[in-house]
Amino acid sequence: MCSFAVVSATEAQTQEIGRILGQVLQSPALILLQGDLGAGKTVLARGIARGLGVEMQIPITSPTFTLMNHYSARLELYHFDLYRLSDPDELIELGFDDYAHGSGVALVEWPEKLERNHVNGLWVSLQRLDENQRELVFVARGAESEKLVIELKDALGSAFSRRDRDPWKATVSQ
């Protein structure tokens, strides 16, 4: 299993990490975001959407009450928020498996509601370290996700090294 961690010092940096992830994503991809309320899942999702090319004037919000938002970009993005999911059968009605294992990018907040903890994909755990800092741990499950983790780590390493003189404080560790 391939993994690495990043510490982000600000909300803007968390969004930038998402943007870089969105730029390296290829279709199909399943991204699963775990973390407590306020950990930064939707901020990261907003960055991923921007990295995929969703236009700036389109608001990226958590689909808490609708379960899924769809955005057109370089790759189709299907953003799920399962926080209020009361019955996993709702996902069947929504056609979740078609999106999660189809073409495009399926981005899932609160994947623990799937009751499937061993789904192949890129698992991202966000943890609040303090008021501003977040630790993001990227774990690949499956061969395609392992390639993605390697590409993402390289892209983030390059981005961080270019920013060594500005306030960017994120660090990448194995």
How many distinct structural domains can be found in the chain? 1
Pair of tokens at residue 55: 């236009």
Q: Are 8 and 158 in contact (CB under 8 A)?
A: no
Burial of 16 (0-12, 13-18, 19+ CB in 10 A): buried
Q: Give the residue numbers spanning the domain of 97.
A: 3-173
Closest by Cα among 136, 109, 155, 110 to 9: 136
pLDDT tens per residue across span 24-61: 999 899 999 999 998 999 999 999 999 999 999 999 98
Average pLDDT estimate for 129-154: 92
User: What is the DSSP code (8-state) at residue 161?
Assistant: H
pLDDT digits (tens, 9 = 90+) for 66-118: 889 999 999 999 999 998 888 878 888 888 888 888 889 999 999 988 877 67
Domain containing residue 126: CATH number = 3.40.50.300
